[in-house]
Amino acid sequence: MTNGIYPADLAVYLVLLPIVIYVFYCHRYLSSLPWYYMTIFCLARIVGGGMGVKNPASEPAGIIQSVAITPLVLGLDGLTHEARSFRFPGYHKKLGMGMIVGTSVAMIAAIAMSITGALHVYSGETEATWVDLWKAGSAITVAVWGVQGIWLFYTFISRAGKTTGPNIRYTNLMLGCGFVAFIFIGVRVIYTLIAVVTEDKKLSPIEGTIAVRIVLMFLPEAISTIAIVTSGYLTRHMQEEEKDIAMQ
């Protein structure tokens, strides 16, 4: 079994990780949540890529690459939370925290089910129980992704906070990048669900064709990550700018 996207994963996320850490540092007083998850996602891709480059037949590397999408989805959730916190200070905090907790619990359950199912399936245990467990985990991930889209849109159209100043400009930028990430994360998670449900080896996240894995796995993940990181980099000074205006 050869997986040609391991070197690409390793190269891309080795470049992105220092940028994510820098953005994490810049946003540490605003909201570290999205950047914490993005750091984990980059590290997971680097570890998986490194293992895959060393041994293309590595089962752990294949599973990391195929199911470890959770930090990226949680990173998008964190980005929406950060935008809401800066856009609507003090508004519906319980709703925002409830969304974070609900998303986190659902995604933890999803990745636990997906990893458990995938481990047994790729160990040669093809009982329906393990396949169904992987399917259920993938379905939960798609459901959470859909809810994130609604949450993003609701945050964008809400008019509960300020409508002028740097906060609206910066949060519009964050939400715009969030929508880009949402679209490409959708490609990735829906592809995984279809691949697992159909059990088509040509679509397999681990054994599928290189073209399928590049177009439906590597590129959507990379574009989503770049979109989220770009939003963080471009808004790294928004708190300072807001303070400067408030002091004038």
Whole-number pLDDT of residue 208: 76
The residue ranges of every structural domain in the chain are 6-247
- Residue 2 pLDDT > 50: no
- Burial of residue 24 (CB within 10 Å: 0-12, 13-18, 19+) is middle
Q: Which residue has the tokens 């950060």?
A: 82
Mean pLDDT of 189-206: 88
Mean pLDDT (the chain) is: 86
The model's confidence at residue 1, banded by pLDDT at 50, 70 and 90, is: very low
Considering the domain 6-247 in this protein, what is its CATH number? Answer: 1.20.1070
DSSP 33-81: HHHHHHHHHHHHHHHHHHHHHH-TT-HHHHHHHHHTTHHHHHHHHHHHH
Cβ contact 178:231 at 8 Å: yes
* Closest to 239 (Cα-Cα) out of 163, 130, 165: 165
The model's confidence at residue 243, banded by pLDDT at 50, 70 and 90, is: low
Backbone angles phi, psi at 69, to 5 degrees: -95, -10
Whole-number pLDDT of residue 66: 80
Whole-number pLDDT of residue 242: 57
- Cα 206 from Cα 178, distance rounded (Å): 28
Mean pLDDT of 136-155: 94
The model's confidence at residue 240, banded by pLDDT at 50, 70 and 90, is: low
What does the chain come to in residues? 248
Q: What is the largest CA-CA distance in the chain?
A: 67
Tokens found for residue 185:
């994360």
Q: In sequence order, which residues have a C-beta less than 8 Å from that of residue 125 and are 6 or more positions away?
A: none
- Residue 120 pLDDT > 90: no
pLDDT digits (tens, 9 = 90+) for 40-59: 999 999 999 998 888 887 77
Return the number of other C-beta atoms located less than 10 Å from residue 191's C-beta.
Answer: 20
Return the number of other C-beta atoms located less than 10 Å from residue 207's C-beta.
Answer: 16
Any idea which of 79-88, 93-102, 153-162, 207-216 has the lowest mean pLDDT? 153-162
Whole-number pLDDT of residue 60: 80
In angstroms, what CA-CA distances link 12 with 53, 176, 201?
14, 23, 26
Cβ contact 115:72 at 8 Å: no
Tokens found for residue 241:
């700018």
Q: Which percentage of the chain shows pLDDT scores above 90?
A: 48
Whole-number pLDDT of residue 77: 94
Any idea which of 20-29, 107-116, 197-206, 226-235 has the lowest mean pLDDT? 197-206
Whole-number pLDDT of residue 31: 73
- Residue 89 pLDDT > 80: no
